[in-house]
Amino acid sequence: MSNQKALAAALAELDRNPEQSVAVRERGHCVVLAGPGSGKTKTLTTAMARALVQDVVDPRGVACITYNNECAIELETRLARLGIHASERSFIGTVHSFALTQVITPYARCIPGLLPAEFRVADTAERRSAVEIAYRAVFGEDQFNPHDRWGFAEEKRRREVNRALPAWRGENPELAQFIEAYEAELRRCGLIDFDDMPLIAFRMIESHAWIRDALRARFPILFVDEYQDLGHALHELVLLLCFEGGMRLFAVGDADQSIYGFTGANPELLQSLLARPGVREVRLRFNYRSGAKIIRASLGALGEERDYRGLDDAPEGDLAFWTVKGGHDAQAGAIAASILPKLLARHPHEEVAVLYRAAWLGDKVAAALDEHAIPYVRTDGNALIKRSSRLARFVESCAAWVAGGWREADPPYTRLLGQALALVFGGRASDSEEQAVSRQLIAFLRSGIGAGENAHAWLQRFSRELLASWRQVARNPQQEWEVLAELISRTNPAQDKDMALNIFAGRIEGSGRVSLSTLHSAKGREFDAVILFGMNAGDIPSNRDKKSTGSLREARRLFYVGVTRPRKELAIVFQEGNHSPWIAELSRRSKGNL
């Protein structure tokens, strides 16, 4: 199907929802406030497809900034279904990737003295060393831990993007000195860090109007997904590019799902866009995901009124409360022995998730499931594959292809090649470079089919046959080569850690049915049934949450995110006589009318 026909079909489908239809056809600045399950990703991708087909003339394109790379992959996949395939016309990626690949890499060399000629992104050890050197330079032999104080400096660095304002030195001037000394040490070593990327891009765009003009010429429209999660640096870039630089803005977000305050996210930034002249506000009120009972429960979890509605013909959905005598271990045992098997029986061939506050709780669930021989996929911070690492995700995708994905093109080879080129070259690659990487990659992948290798041996060969040569020609300043060494170490057969390649790739029968995830990692995802584990008083909210009104509100939003993940059934597990205080309101609201 051509992209025009696919787009026409998508637009006709959205015509059944006037709010979505208005949003995707808007040709001015537009902010879409999208509640859980309201079809915001469909709205966003259809709006992008319509803009590329109808509004933007080739070779111009659009840019879309997402919260993480998983979101970017999802958007690319959905756009492909509309006949819009990844190309140089469009950028889809994180704000850090946008800053690095679309601003810093192409234009930094045009600004004398801005960055070292061959800069790269610092690794963890190099960042820690720079913190310690900067601390001694500013504070001397202070009794405080340099890294503890750096935590406060990081917060200031992310919040106060524009250093020309009086607040930069007027508030906590010692922290400003600390940050500047840290950045100077990085530059002395030819380095930048992750947080540098949007900050440097902001200064470049603010100081040089020709960069704004160049970006607008290439990307006349800027799309932003999950705006409430992206923080002050992204907000300042949006103000520069869209309200001073002339790009059109299409932003999607939900302040009720802002749960990343520790990274600098601020839900008020999304709200502030609505107060700007010329911005159209569209609210998506229909929840296509969940039944009415779960929608009512979610409003109790949030503790605020919203005008969300389910579909008239949607099932009510089920909600159950499981009280367990005992703490986290007993609750994890009950999930493995009773709760999860019952959900799996009621939802054959469907996806069930166990969600929890922190990765250490995931360890307890994983141990209980292992004891009962229940397969699962884990996506929290203690998972073997670190979802935040592009190289780790690429390795996992290659393993999935070799372990059987090649039969149904899942993942498609074109995606693997695109990931490889991004890892090696960062931005654009020449035709000869792309051909060379493609030859190496397809030869390696094909050699693994039917080879019977375990993960450890396959990873070692991956290092020898691909990464060894790629490192020699790499131009990507954000290198993650050490991640592969970590994977090799964590599958060491001498420590009884090795596994079959299909298990490493998550391609075993039933493994995709049960997901273990933190509440943070589950944001943006949906499941047929969800178990909320450890919803105890003292866990959510914790004593730390109660130290400030802002932290308490964010913890409640986190609880709300968990309650809004299921399509059909929600099970809440807590210690007998010790449940979260928010559960009572959730229970009361679930029994009422919307």
Q: Has 41 been labeled as part of a binding site?
A: yes
Q: CA angle 511-353-347, nearest 5°?
A: 80
Q: Has 38 been labeled as part of a binding site?
A: yes
Cβ distance 395 to 534 under 8 Å? no
Q: How far apart are CA 236 and CA 238, in angstroms?
A: 5
* Residue that has been written with the tokens 């919203």 in this structure: 306
Q: How far apart are CA 181 and CA 166, in angstroms?
A: 19
Helix (H) or strand (E) segment spanning residue 586: helix 582-590
- Helix, coil or strand: residue 351: coil
Q: How far apart are CA 185 and CA 188, in angstroms?
A: 5
The one-character DSSP state at 352 is E
Angle formed by the axes of helices 146-159 and 173-188, nearest 10°: 100
Q: Is the dihedral of CA 249, 30, 298, 354 positive or negative?
A: negative
Q: How far apart are CA 71 and CA 76, in angstroms?
A: 9
Specify the amino acid at residue 271: Q
264 half-sphere exposure, CB direction, 13 A CA radius: 21
Q: Has 40 been labeled as part of a binding site?
A: yes
Q: What are the structure tokens assigned to 12, written together?
A: 């006709």
Cβ distance 41 to 47 under 8 Å? no
CA 216 to chain centre: 26
- Helix, coil or strand: residue 139: helix
Q: What is the CA radius of gyration of the chain?
A: 24
Backbone φ and ψ of 97, nearest 5°: -65, -40
Specify the amino acid at residue 464: R
- Helix, coil or strand: residue 123: coil
Of 275, 284, 221, the closest CA to residue 252 belongs to 284
Cβ distance 316 to 569 under 8 Å? no
Q: Has 36 been labeled as part of a binding site?
A: yes
Q: CA angle 67-68-73, nearest 5°?
A: 115
Q: Has 34 been labeled as part of a binding site?
A: yes
Q: How far apart are CA 121 and CA 474, in angstroms?
A: 13
Backbone φ and ψ of 90, nearest 5°: -130, 150
Residue 55: exposure state from Cβ atoms within 10 A (0-12, 13-18, ≥19): middle
CB neighbours (10 Å) of residue 321?
15
Q: How far apart are CA 236 and CA 240, in angstroms?
A: 6
Q: How far apart are CA 383 and CA 49, in angstroms?
A: 35
Cβ distance 371 to 337 under 8 Å? no
Of 561, 525, 566, 70, the closest CA to residue 357 belongs to 561
Query: Which residues are known binding-site members for ATP?
Result: 34-41
Query: Which residues are known binding-site members?
Result: 34-41
